[in-house]
Amino acid sequence: MPELPEVEIAARNLRRWLAGQKIVAARIPATRILRGAAAPALEKRLSGRKVTAVERRGKWLRLGVDRDWLYSHLGMTGKWVRRGRDEPAHRHERARLDVARASVRYLDPRLFGRLVLRARDEELADWRALGADPLVDGLDADALGATLKRTSRSIKEVLLDQTVIAGVGNIQATEALWRARLHPARRASSLSAAEVRRLVKGIERSIADTLADEEGPEITYVEEPGAPNPFRVYARAGEPCPRCGRRIERIVQAGRSTTLCPKCQPRAGRNARSRP
């Protein structure tokens, strides 16, 4: 369930658990998250090494392990958790890094995540291709506006493009568009400068709110089974818009669903006059 806020929480946790510590043992079974890399070689290259840094960019994490980077993408269901050294493997455990007094495990039932080891001086292409990260770099409305002018895609699609803005996924895109009062099907190039500024604020606020919700001593993924839905419109089709009360709708673009308020997020731009 990870988008930028969840991955940021994961980064903070990993920093607390691992930074400065020596990996005394690594256990990484061969699964598709390794994309064909040899598991035993990976274990060997990590064991006995020290974790010097934990970074996040977009939805990617990377651990500095001596002269290497261990890149981690959580896919749809990936999760780093801390367990006792003697705790048995979880059913969906795909990696474990043991340090002096704890054992950090990577769980991923659907195997959509990735784990890649690279020498520090050869940065992973996917990482390098990432666009501006809202927390690491901050967003520049003018620069974003210029990028949006150059595409024919819808604004929703562009928001999911990690090379434009890194870390925004379906939830954050949905929430940001609602906050900015923009219809997801609008052509990105049709947004005015003022609308782009609203969008930037929408993204920043949505991420900040989600982050605040998820902050806590234990890892809590918002929107896990049983938990209340903390979002304004995401997964709330049929409920009233929290701003105007109109019934929230759901549309599908390129196979991804977006919920929106048809009144707050008109298909035409704000200045366009609709018929009386």
Partner DNA sequence: AACGGAACCTGAAAGC
Partner DNA sequence: TGCTTTCAGGTTCCGT
Kindly tell me which residue out of 33, 95, 160, 207 binds DNA, with binding defined by CB under 7 A.
Answer: 160
> Is 134 in the active site?
no
Distance CA 247, CA 42 (A): 52
When asked if residue 91 is in the footprint of DNA (CB under 7 A), the reply is: yes
Q: 138, 200 in Cβ contact below 8 A?
A: no
x/- map, 179-218, DNA, by CB under 7 A:
----------------------------------------
**Is 255 an interacting residue with respect to DNA (CB under 7 A)?**
yes
131 binds DNA (CB under 7 A): no
Check binding of 59 to DNA (CB under 7 A).
yes
Return the structure tokens found at 176: 């940001």
Is the distance from CB of 13 to CB of 220 less than 8 angstroms? Answer: no
75 binds DNA (CB under 7 A): yes
The piece of 8-16, 40-48, 71-79, 196-204 that touches DNA (CB under 7 A) is 71-79
State the sign of the Cα–Cα–Cα–Cα dihedral 103, 109, 113, 116: positive
Question: Judged by CB under 7 A, does residue 156 bind DNA?
Answer: no
When asked if residue 134 is in the footprint of DNA (CB under 7 A), the reply is no
> Rounded CA gap, 18 and 52, in Å?
8
Beta pairing partners, 114: 73
User: Quick check: 36 binds DNA (CB under 7 A)?
Assistant: no
Q: Which position has the token pair 């658990």?
A: 17
Contact between 169 and DNA per CB under 7 A: yes
**Which CB sits closer to DNA, 15 or 92?**
92
Measured from the CB atom, the residue of 21 and 253 that comes closer to DNA is: 253
Q: Which of 12, 201, 243, 256 is catalytic?
A: 256
Q: How far apart (Å, rounded) are the C-alpha atoms in residues 114 and 108? A: 10
Q: Is the dihedral of CA 190, 192, 196, 198 positive or negative?
A: negative
Please confirm, yes or no, whether 2 is among the known catalytic residues.
Answer: yes
92 binds DNA (CB under 7 A): yes
* Residue span binding DNA (CB under 7 A) among the ranges 12-20, 197-205, 222-230, 261-269: 222-230
- Asked whether position 162 contacts DNA by CB under 7 A, the answer is yes
Binding site for DNA (CB under 7 A): 1-3, 6, 32, 58-59, 73, 75-76, 91-92, 109-112, 126, 151-153, 157, 160, 162, 169-171, 221-226, 253-257
Which are the catalytic amino acids?
Answer: 2-3, 59, 256
